[in-house]
């Protein structure tokens, strides 16, 4: 397995998947994975965070055929928080050559921009970090960019979303190579969630919203998350902040970018989604604890997103059916 590295590469993009493959190799007795860090010029590489990696091979000196080519991402934070992917020309040229002889090719986070620049993603569906998905599509119109999934597989080309999703991708690759039991053992060893399915959304619906500046509205946002079964109508929320409904609604929109009703709806759906994925509570229980009041209301919320609670649970459950529990979403799976 070859992992190209370059100045500005994100350390987690490299270390997360490498750790998965290293643990898997140990668990199967060795000989399954040999990870090689390679760079345009062998030697020290400075990561985005400043930590140094050492590449002991040159990309130009690698054999023409490799088993797995895993391209990590790197990005710079520009003015106004704009994320600019690092696309090194020397790395792109090497990837173009190596990908042609690889059994499979994968990328983590903004590594998809490197694969796209090398022509590997043309005519394929792919994902990347949500913050750079629009740029990937604009720069490479031949790529079908899907900004939502944790990872995407199109034939023998895999792409994953931002940063920690590289672990999910690596676990999926291990499952393909060594079976689900080994992938579960690796997840348990690393104390991470048992693989998130690739089609699961890569970021929380709540995180997609702006968080208010420190103050009453931010405190209210946190309170809402912790009290979903209570009255979260706009009049009730306005009363908590001792504001008129009109003034409260105006302040909330200004500070968060959405209306109070929109925020409550997304928080409730996010909570329901996590309950369905992490446990086996009956739908009436999920509806009650998430503040829907009835199963019909819960059903309507999911139908508005093109699915149903039962279908979502079947598709995105993150624990082995034999070991599912009703543990809170914050707890780690022990499957």
Each residue of 23-81: pLDDT tens digit?
A: 999 999 999 999 999 999 999 999 999 999 999 999 999 999 999 999 999 999 888 77
CB environment 206-228: b (16+ within 10 A), e (fewer): beebeebeeeebeebbeebeeeb
pLDDT digits (tens, 9 = 90+) for 78-111: 887 789 999 999 999 999 999 999 999 999 999 9
Domains (range + CATH), the chain: 2-190 (3.40.50.880), 216-323 (1.10.10.60)
- Coil, helix or strand for 43? strand
Supply 272's token pair. 């329901």
Task: Determine the pLDDT at residue 197.
Answer: 54
Name the DSSP letter for residue 24: H
Per-residue confidence (pLDDT) for residue 74, from 0 to 100? 97
The H or E element spanning position 84 is: strand 83-85
pLDDT digits (tens, 9 = 90+) for 159-212: 999 888 999 999 999 999 999 899 989 999 998 865 555 555 655 556 566 667
- Mean per-residue pLDDT of the chain: 88
Per-residue pLDDT tens for 233-264?
A: 999 999 999 999 999 999 999 999 899 999 99
* Residue 268 pLDDT > 60: yes
Choosing from 109, 178, 258, 290, which is the catalytic residue? 109
* Mean pLDDT of all residues in 151-162: 94
- Decide: 280 and 319 in contact? Cβ < 8 Å: no
> Are 117 and 142 spatial neighbours (Cβ–Cβ below 8 Å)?
no
Q: How confident is the model at residue 327 (pLDDT cuts 50, 70, 90)?
A: very low
Six-digit token string for 196:
């998130």
Q: 109 catalytic, yes or no?
A: yes
């Amino acid at each position: 397995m070859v992992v190209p590295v370059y100045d500005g590469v994100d350390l987690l993009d490299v270390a997360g998947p490498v750790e998965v493959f290293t643990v898997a190799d140990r668990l199967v007795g060795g000989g399954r994975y040999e990870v090689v860090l390679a760079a345009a010029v062998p030697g020290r590489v400075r990561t985005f965070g400043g930590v140094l990696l050492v590449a002991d091979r040159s990309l130009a000196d690698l054999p023409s055929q490799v088993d797995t080519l895993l391209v990590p991402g790197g990005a710079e934070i520009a003015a106004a928080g704009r994320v600019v992917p690092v696309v090194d020309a020397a790395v792109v040229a090497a990837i173009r050559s190596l990908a042609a002889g690889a059994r499979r090719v994968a990328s983590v986070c903004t590594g998809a921009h490197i694969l796209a620049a090398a022509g590997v993603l043309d005519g394929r569906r792919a994902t990347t970090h949500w913050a750079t998905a629009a740029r990937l599509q604009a720069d490479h119109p031949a790529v079908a960019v899907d900004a939502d999934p944790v990872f995407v597989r199109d034939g023998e080309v895999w792409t994953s979303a931002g940063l920690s999703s590289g672990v999910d991708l690596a676990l999926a690759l291990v499952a393909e190579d060594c079976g689900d039991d080994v992938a579960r053992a690796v997840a348990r060893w690393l104390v991470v969630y048992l693989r998130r399915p690739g089609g699961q959304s890569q970021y929380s619906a709540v995180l997609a919203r702006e968080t208010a500046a420190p103050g009453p509205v931010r405190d209210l946002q946190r309170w809402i998350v912790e009290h979903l079964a209570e009255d979260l109508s706009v009049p009730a929320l306005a009363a908590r902040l001792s504001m008129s409904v009109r003034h409260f609604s105006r302040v909330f929109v200004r500070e968060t970018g959405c209306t109070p009703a929109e925020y409550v709806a997304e928080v409730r759906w996010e909570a329901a989604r996590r309950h369905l994925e992490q446990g086996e509570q009956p739908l009436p229980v999920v509806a009650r604890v998430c503040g829907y009041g009835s199963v019909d209301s819960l059903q309507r919320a999911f139908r508005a997103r093109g699915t149903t609670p039962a279908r979502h649970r079947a598709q995105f459950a993150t624990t082995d059916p034999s070991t599912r529990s009703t543990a809170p979403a914050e707890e780690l799976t022990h499957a």
